[in-house]
Amino acid sequence: MAKLITDIMPLLFKLEESETVGGVRKLRGLFHLAETQNANGRVYSKALLEREVGRIMPSIKDRRVLGELDHPDDPRIHLDKSSHVITNLKVDGIKIFGELEALKTPCGRILEGLIDSGVKLGISSRGLGSLKENDEGIKVVQEDYSLITWDVVPNPSTPEAWLGEAEQIMNYSQYFNEKTEKSEETTENLEENEKNQEVDKINTELMIERINNLFGGK
């Protein structure tokens, strides 16, 4: 039996102000992740997400895929509660990157206020489908799944996947280790947590650059 399925990702975004009158705020981030058990214990197959992205893209191009602040109790899209419109999706391996635009609606104004206040936001998919546990006890989303939209939600933590590819993290860690070996002063003053923060910052910048490249730059 199909039921409402929601899954949250961190919305690591780059804020853009358009040149149009009034300004348009756009957020970009990782919207979905396939072949990986998420925080809710669910797994989506790559083929399933690719199918749903292909199915929903015409509606996205027509600016008909609206989202809300927090999830409603039902799968319907409510015009009076809409805060944003999904404007683009890109499939990159097992990752689904997306872009949304804040609307000039009451809820959209709230979203703009949250952005301006530096509130950390998450993006959460909303769809209908059924689940089935595999031999490992993992809940697998079934073929009857139908993606509806993505809603903006509070997100208190960022998954490790957002820190970049493992190879990138390794390379930058190696860079800092070599740097400290060349400078005794740096070795004495650079604390481990500071190094980790710098690595995270660099990989975050790389991820933002990767997203922007997928969507054709700024």
Round to whole Å and give the CA distance between 3 and 131: 9
> Does 21 share its domain with 55?
yes
Residue 181 phi, psi dihedral angles, 5° rounding: -70, -30
> Does 53 share its domain with 147?
yes
> Does 103 share its domain with 185?
no
- Boundary (domain end) residue, out of 110, 137, 158: 158
> Does 52 share its domain with 133?
yes
Tokens of 74: 């039902």
- Boundary (domain end) residue, out of 134, 158, 182: 158
| Boundaries of domain holding 172 | 164-214
> Does 67 share its domain with 52?
yes
Number of domains, the chain: 2
> Does 97 share its domain with 116?
yes
> Does 153 share its domain with 172?
no
Round to whole Å and give the CA distance between 93 and 3: 27
Rounded to the nearest 10°, the torsion over CA 111, 113, 115, 121 is -50
Give the pLDDT score at 172.
Answer: 35
> Does 119 share its domain with 205?
no
pTM: 0.71
> Does 152 share its domain with 190?
no
Q: Are 72 and 124 in contact (CB under 8 A)?
A: no
> Does 170 share its domain with 154?
no
Give the pLDDT score at 216.
Answer: 74
> Does 22 share its domain with 8?
yes
Mean pLDDT split into 10-residue runs, the chain, 218 residues: 70 40 74 84 93 97 95 88 94 89 94 83 87 90 94 58 30 42 50 63 69 72
Give the pLDDT score at 197.
Answer: 65
- Boundary (domain end) residue, out of 140, 158, 176: 158
Which residues, 6 or more positions from 116, have their beta carbon under 8 angstroms from its beta carbon? none
Give the pLDDT score at 194.
Answer: 65
> Does 151 share its domain with 169?
no
Return the exposure string of 112-140: e unless at least 16 CB atoms fall within 10 Å of the residue's CB, then b.
Answer: bebbeeeeebbbbbbbebebeeeeeeebb
